[in-house]
Chains A and B, each alone.
Chain A
């Protein structure tokens, strides 16, 4: 008997494989066509251009580059072609620029990599000093994973599993999942088209208008749960198809003493999907405690209008005042989905007041005023004030039939009106006592008011002091050092001991002492040698927090060198090191009951480290004929997460450390990308050149969270490291999407003609 699962999966796979192949052949054919066209286009003006760069009263210049790439090795990793199309085949680049003879008109055209997934086209036509028309279109791929597999059949936003194959049980889940899986590409293309027109009719007036649309299409992973979070996970490869339209308009009137600028931006987001629905692999019939279907909302349609007015004016005593007032309206009113896709319980698509859509409204108010003055040659002073407010005007909604946790039944939840204002006021004073030294000192006060955050209203005050010194004792050296100190405090925040741990304030408004130092040293002793060194350190100490984020700091150091020791050799090298540390603490609460006991406290430290090394060289082997560019770069990224119990009490029970609170370290996350490139450029004539290149890329990746992923993860979970499997009865289904290591060799060859 034919296995319906295998038949369906194989058929679908074959169809998709054939379609993929067809697309690839079409792409190759189109590439060839475009390449031939490019050559024809190039040969036309090129002949004329070489005779005098004049074509029909236009002075034409530009370049055409055409060739191909061929790569081999492990090309299947999504990291290999994350934001680029690395398929073997045609690559090309055309630039064309023209200026009308004895006339101020010009045009500029660009086309890059036609028919590839990262193609780009742009054009511009204008009259110097009067107007400019811009047009453009480009595509950016984003490949998320090439290893994903799904068990679902997809029809728009609806995901199904044949009824005959459900429900999954612990006995059959592995076989069912493995037999149903089919490959699915996770990734999407972003296509951006734009058109703009800029007009400067007089010295004083300027107008510009621009329209752009951004379309995203593809698939991305989406985790879903039907029951309570923490239960079975069903990961879907959901389709993306959305468009953002944006219109900008600007008008400006400017004279030397003052200027006024008005800008409007309108943005409309439209999503083809309002939700995603799927079959519950574990349940086939709706009951009061179990749903056979799941549903999750997709990003809703929304729109935003922003109006802004900016003015600037000169004042006596070499002073200038500038101000901006901006007002944004954000709106969203997409209809509610049904509260639960379960026909066995009361279903509704309305809140308790009978409203069927959120009528979500937020307004942003932004104001800025700045006065800057230079009363003496050696003194500058700036005072500024900034105001930002998020007004949340979305009406409150109460849902007494909300089902956020599946089998736990309906719950009552009401929305909130989180809102805030942020105000900054500051003064900066700059003094240059001697030509070689500039000193800056500044003070800033920042004040936040938050409403309806964590069910309460409270405020933050921060006092910030800044000091900077720039030193140029000789014209070949520049040193810059900046130090910033900040002291932030929260007031009006009330602890609820029944729902909060003591002194566990979220880091974006907890009391904080901030110290930060940045330094940059640039040397240019000769035109041929320009090293620079940078250093940075910052520390945020959440000194009153006992739980939550306690401390975070980073330090960085960098070195860069550009050197041309001899005419035929240019070298550059750079190295940067970065380290980020986060330290947080929390407490395991037995049964979720506060305040718990200190034996169940645990602290965790996350450390991210990065090393970047880059070395480049250009060697001129035959002057004006043949040069070679070499480059090597390597980036190391490491993440270490360690966890400890500071008050560990053996034995568990009522006074000891519970198993769920026992701390374990996690494996190091590590990724390393190395690239080596060598490009040889040979000029056949002044206009014709050949370029051949070789690149070696090696990416190695190790991530304990990503590497083990498969569609069926039964038997993988552990309660303690190295312990026996747990949660065997949990039947989660994943996509198994990974980003494996790769090693690839890429050859390229291009012909270029400049005209």
Chain B
């Protein structure tokens, strides 16, 4: 909050998109380099030397249960059917598991086909390389080099390729859970992510939290409402240009730009809020007025200690008066009270 105009030198006008344009040029140049013939071996799936394609019908002879499971899945619709496109999809089972002739000869040898379970000798990158043949676009376009990929998380860690829930083939949880109204909880994604991100998942149980489908609350908020686990250009796998842009997708009233900006709001909503849950109202990181006092030291009333029976502490504390703290459009709104 300032009350004086700041003189600016010409150099302080931050018209710096020059560097951004340079960045764009570099990206374009490298993409062009990528188009040169032969530059296609980044994540090629592993091969099975000497094996030849035998057709999916042969597979069904032994793996009838899997074939039956796949019937209603999206993979079942598109692999080895009349809807198959391109070179790979018509291969059916062999599109993913590789040519099956050697597996037919010696089914027990794990080197004779491509397997994806825990006992598979394939490295995570090789397993994922099989999926990437088709799934290197859309939301998966930035998978390679993403945090999950870098930690050897495989596609099959989360997805059940032969069958799964919904269209995303997510792995099912062990058993159904119900809300207090007796209705089944939509908690597949929440439980799946929570297997590794246990604490994050539990934070939604706090006093202040966003509505979560997995708690039986209305709204379709799930982990992927904000995050893209397959890779993004933003920290924390946020599926937006920045954390603020993600938050203002729903909270557009706080987007501004405002006449009077509150600097920490401009920078990052998480300067004050804990997105997954908090013990304080409106997802605040800590209780007011202490939250505000971590920055607003000195000054007038914000340097006092206060007892809990003070109007600057009870009810909504600082926001009792500074109620439009995210920004004001009022000529007298410099202190976010108008």
Contact B331 A254 (CB under 8 A): no
Q: Does any Cβ of B come within 8 Å of A135's Cβ?
A: no
Task: Verify if B66 is at the interface (C-beta below 8 Å from A).
Answer: no
The reply to whether B242 and A366 contact each other, CB–CB distance below 8 Å, is yes
Residue B62 lies at the interface, judged by CB distance under 8 Å to chain A:
no
Question: Are B305 and A660 within 8 A (Cβ)?
Answer: yes
In the assembled complex, the Cα of A330 lies from the Cα of B257 at a distance in Å of 7
8 Å CB interface, A641-673 against B: 641, 643, 660-664, 666-667, 669, 671, 673
A629 to B320, CA, bound (A): 45
Q: Do most interface residues of chain A lie in helix, strand or loop, or is the interface mixed? A: strand
Query: Is A541 in the interface zone, CB < 8 Å from B?
Result: no
A235, A387, A570: the one within 8 Å of B20 (CB): A387
**A635 near B206 (CB under 8 angstroms)?**
yes
Contact partner, A313, options B30, B248, B250, Cβ 8 Å: B30
B6 partner residues in chain A, CB cutoff 8 A:
416, 452, 455-456
Residue of B nearest to A325 (CB): B24
Given the interface contacts A233-B311, A310-B142, A730-B311, does A402 sit within 8 Å of B331 by beta carbon?
A: yes
How far, in angstroms, from A490 to B125 measured CA to CA in the complex? 40
Does any Cβ of B come within 8 Å of A713's Cβ? yes
**B26, B44, B304: most-surrounded residue (chain A CB, <10 A):** B304
Q: In the complex, A435 Cα to B118 Cα: how many Å?
A: 13
Shortest CB-to-CB span from B200 to chain A, Å, is 10
Given A142-B211, A549-B294, A669 and B279 contact (CB-CB distance below 8 Å): yes
Taking CB atoms, residues of chain B closer than 8 Å to A580 are: 286
**List of B residues within 8 angstroms of A179 by Cβ:** none
Given A455-B4, A706-B315; A404-B334 close (CB under 8 Å): yes
Chain A interface: which of B49-57, B78-86, B92-100, B104-112?
B78-86
Q: Tell me whether B335 and A404 are in contact (CB under 8 A).
A: yes
B267 near A308: Cβ-Cβ < 8 Å: no
Distance to closest chain B CB from A694 (angstroms): 9
Bound CA span A271–B121, Å: 58
Q: Which of A414, A558, A606 contacts B286 (CB 8 A)?
A: A606
Which of B12, B119, B215, B321 counts the most chain A CB atoms within 10 A? Answer: B321
Q: How far is the CA of A310 from the CA of B202 in the complex (A)?
A: 34
- Asked if A318 and B328 sit within 8 Å, CB to CB, the answer is no
Using A302-B257, A475-B118 as known contacts, say yes or no to A244 and B309 having CB atoms under 8 A apart.
no
Which residues of A lie under 8 Å from residue B74 when comparing CB positions?
Answer: 128
Q: How far is the CA of A564 from the CA of B175 in the complex (A)?
A: 11
Are A440 and B141 touching (Cβ within 8 A)? no
Please measure, in the bound complex, the distance between the C-alpha atom of A716 and the C-alpha atom of B152, giving whole angstroms: 59
Q: CB-CB contacts of B244-265 with A at 8 A, as 1s and 0s?
A: 0100111011111111110110
* Alpha-carbon separation in the docked complex, A322 to B146 (Å): 11
A13 part of interface (Cβ distance < 8 Å) = no
Interface residues of A in 55-112 (CB under 8 A from B): 65, 67, 69, 82-86, 91, 93, 104, 112
Contact call B245/A306, Cβ cutoff below 8 A: yes
CB within 8 Å for A296 and B218 given contacts A413-B3, A419-B14, A604-B290: no
Across the interface, A297 reaches (CB within 8 A) one of B137, B138, B338, namely B338
| Residue B61 lies at the interface, judged by CB distance under 8 Å to chain A | no
Pairwise interchain contact B298-A141, C-beta atoms closer than 8 A:
no
Cα distance A262–B230 in the bound complex, in angstroms: 18
A36 contacts partner chain B, Cβ-Cβ < 8 Å: no
B329 CB-CB contact with A under 8 Å? yes
Stretch at the interface among A39-47, A150-158, A502-510: A502-510
| B residues whose Cβ falls under 8 Å from a Cβ of A | 2-6, 12, 14-17, 19-20, 23-24, 26-28, 30-31, 33-35, 38-44, 74, 77-78, 83, 85-86, 118-119, 123, 125, 133, 136-138, 141-142, 144-145, 150-152, 174-184, 195-196, 198-199, 202-203, 205-207, 211, 215-220, 233, 241-242, 245, 248-250, 252-261, 263-264, 266-268, 271, 278-281, 285-287, 290, 293-295, 297-317, 319-324, 328-335, 337-338
List A353-394 residues whose CB lies under 8 Å from chain B: 358, 360-362, 364-372, 374, 377, 380, 382, 384-392, 394
Hey, which chain A residues are within 8 Å of B294, CB to CB? Answer: 506-507, 548-549, 582, 584
Binds B, one of A3-11, A160-168, A331-339: A331-339
Instruction: State in angstroms the CA–CA spacing of A84 and B42 once bound together.
Output: 48
Query: Pick the contact of B259 from A86, A326, A415, A706 — CB < 8 Å?
Result: A415
Shortest CB distance B38–A (Å): 7
A516 at the interface (CB under 8 A from B): no
Write the A608-631 contact mask toward B (1 if CB under 8 angstroms, else 0): 101010001010000000000101
Is the CB–CB distance between A586 and B303 below 8 Å? Answer: yes
Closest chain B CB from A747 CB (angstroms): 8
Residues of the B chain whose Cβ atoms lie less than 8 Å from the Cβ of A233: 311, 315, 320-321
Among B180, B198, B287, B312, the most chain A Cβ lie within 10 Å of the Cβ of B180
Complex Cα gap A664–B287 (Å): 15
What's the Cα separation between A556 and B198 when bound, in Å? 10
Q: Does the CB pair A128–B77 fall under 8 Å?
A: yes
| Apart from A230-B300, A420-B266, 11 more pairs, CB < 8 Å | A83-B215, A128-B74, A206-B138, A261-B137, A312-B31, A316-B41, A348-B331, A371-B145, A440-B150, A578-B203, A586-B302
Tell whether, in the assembled complex, residue A366 and residue B241 are in contact, meaning their CB atoms are under 8 Å apart: yes
Q: Does A133 contact B (CB under 8 A)?
A: no
The answer to whether A558 touches B198 (Cβ under 8 A) is yes
B3 near A414 (CB under 8 angstroms)? yes
Given A693-B178, A709-B314, also A316-B38 (CB < 8 A): yes
> Would you call B233 and A324 a contact (CB within 8 A)?
yes
Contact B333 A404 (CB under 8 A): yes
- Which residues of chain A come closer than 8 Å to B271, judged between CB atoms? 508
- Contact flag A315-B241 (CB < 8 Å), given A223-B323, A532-B198, A635-B206: no
- Is there contact, CB below 8 Å, between A734 and B315? yes
A520 an interface residue at 8 Å Cβ cutoff? yes
Q: Quick one: which of B23, B199, B300 contacts A576, CB cutoff 8 A?
A: B199
Asked whether A588 lies within 8 Å of B335 as measured between CB atoms, the reply is no
Question: Which of B14, B264, B311 lies in contact with A732, CB distance below 8 A?
Answer: B311
B195 near A83 with CB under 8 A, answer no
Is the CB of A284 closer than 8 A to any CB of chain B?
no
Question: What CA separation (Å) do A260 and B330 show in the bound complex?
Answer: 43
Task: Kindly identify which residue among A315, A317, A560 contacts B198, using a CB–CB cutoff of 8 Å.
Answer: A560
Across-interface contacts of B328 in A (CB, < 8 A):
297
Q: Which of A726-755 contact B (CB under 8 A)?
A: 727, 730, 732, 734, 746, 748-750
Instruction: Check A618/B298 contact, CB under 8 A, given A325-B23, A582-B290.
Output: no
Picked from A242, A319, A324, A673, the residue with its CB within 8 Å of the CB of B42 is A319
Bound CA–CA A179/B136 (angstroms): 67
Chain B residues near A334 (CB-CB < 8 A): 329
On whether the beta carbons of A203 and B27 are closer than 8 Å, the reply is no
Tell me how far the C-beta of B15 lies from the nearest C-beta in chain A, rounded to whole angstroms.
7
Which segment, of A18-26, A27-35, A169-177, A717-725, faces chain B?
Answer: A717-725
Is the CB of A708 closer than 8 A to any CB of chain B?
Answer: yes
From B194, which residue of chain A is reached at the shortest CB distance? A560
Known contacts A235-B315, A440-B150, A732-B311: A323-B205 contact under CB 8 Å: no
A536 part of interface (Cβ distance < 8 Å): yes
Q: What are 22 of the A-B contact pairs (CB < 8 Å)?
A: A86-B180, A140-B211, A206-B138, A214-B252, A229-B301, A254-B137, A256-B40, A258-B34, A297-B338, A302-B252, A314-B40, A321-B34, A322-B142, A322-B145, A336-B331, A337-B330, A339-B332, A387-B19, A576-B198, A635-B206, A669-B287, A727-B311
A365 to B254, CA, bound (A): 20
Known: A340-B332, A369-B30, A500-B298. A631 touches B136 (CB 8 A): no
A365 to B241, CA, bound (A): 9
The verdict on A313 contacting B31 (CB below 8 Å), with A387-B20, A504-B298, A693-B178 known, is yes
Whole-angstrom distance between the Cβ of B283 and the nearest chain A Cβ: 12
Q: A314-B42, A325-B27, A399-B332 are in contact. Are A708 and B123 (CB under 8 A)?
A: no
